Amino acid sequence: MSQEESLARPTEDEYETVTPRFDSRPDGEMDSVGWLMFGLLAVLIIPLLPFIAIVYVLSKAFGYLGAQRGAGE
């Protein structure tokens, strides 16, 4: 038995397991919960975006001005 043969992946028929095979299915309940959570987060975050943008721009502006002021010393 060569090393290449021992590293080959087994086919589905070659798996030896005592547990039954799991067949996935669509999960509509969890899908609807996920969309509900996304919608609630969007409703909360979208009105806050202008304030988040203002804070971001001010922090960048003060950082730039502080760097300019500190470079002159």
pLDDT in tens, 11-57: 666 667 777 777 777 888 889 999 999 999 999 999 999 999 999 99
Give the total number of structural domains in the chain.
1
- Please give the residue that has the higher pLDDT: either 29 or 63: 63
Q: What are phi and psi of 72, to 5 degrees?
A: -80, -15
Residue 66: inside a domain, yes or no? yes
User: How high is the pLDDT of residue 55?
Assistant: 97
Reduced 3-state DSSP string for 1-67 = CCHHHHHCCCCHHHCCCCCCCCCCCCCHHHHHHHHHHHHHHHHHHHHHHHHHHHHHHHHHHHHHHHH
Residue 5: inside a domain, yes or no? no
d(CA 23, CA 42): 34
d(CA 45, CA 38): 10
Question: Domain range spanning residue 34?
Answer: 27-73
Residue 12: inside a domain, yes or no? no
pTM score: 0.47
Residue 52: inside a domain, yes or no? yes
Residue 61: inside a domain, yes or no? yes
- Please give the residue that has the higher pLDDT: either 69 or 3: 69
User: How high is the pLDDT of residue 16?
Assistant: 72
